[in-house]
Amino acid sequence: GAGVSQSPSNKVTEKGKDVELRCDPISGHTALYWYRQSLGQGLEFLIYFQGNSAPDKSGLPSDRFSAERTGGSVSTLTIQRTQQEDSAVYLCASSPGQDWPNSPLHFGNGTRLTVT
Partner 1 sequence: AQSVAQPEDQVNVAEGNPLTVKCTYSVSGNPYLFWYVQYPNRGLQFLLKYITGDNLVKGSYGFEAEFNKSQTSFHLKKPSALVSDSALYFCAVRDISGGYQKVTFGTGTKLQVIP
Q: Yes or no: say if 35 and 57 are a contact pair by the CB < 8 Å rule.
A: no
Find the shortest distance in angstroms from Cβ 16 to partner 1. 28
Q: Yes or no: say if 52 and 102 are a contact pair by the CB < 8 Å rule.
A: no
Q: Yes or no: say if 31 and 23 are a contact pair by the CB < 8 Å rule.
A: no
Find the shortest distance in angstroms from Cβ 100 to partner 1. 6
Tell me how far CA of residue 101 lies from CA of 98, 104, 107, in angstroms. 8, 8, 16
Residue 80 or 109: the one with the smaller Cβ distance to partner 1 is 109
Residue 14 or 41: the one with the smaller Cβ distance to partner 1 is 41
Find the shortest distance in angstroms from Cβ 104 to partner 1. 4
Residue 23 or 115: the one with the smaller Cβ distance to partner 1 is 23
**Site residues for partner 1 per CB under 8 A:** 4, 31, 33, 35, 41-43, 45, 48, 50, 56, 91, 93, 95, 100-102, 104-110
Q: Which amino acid appears at position 99 of this protein?
A: D
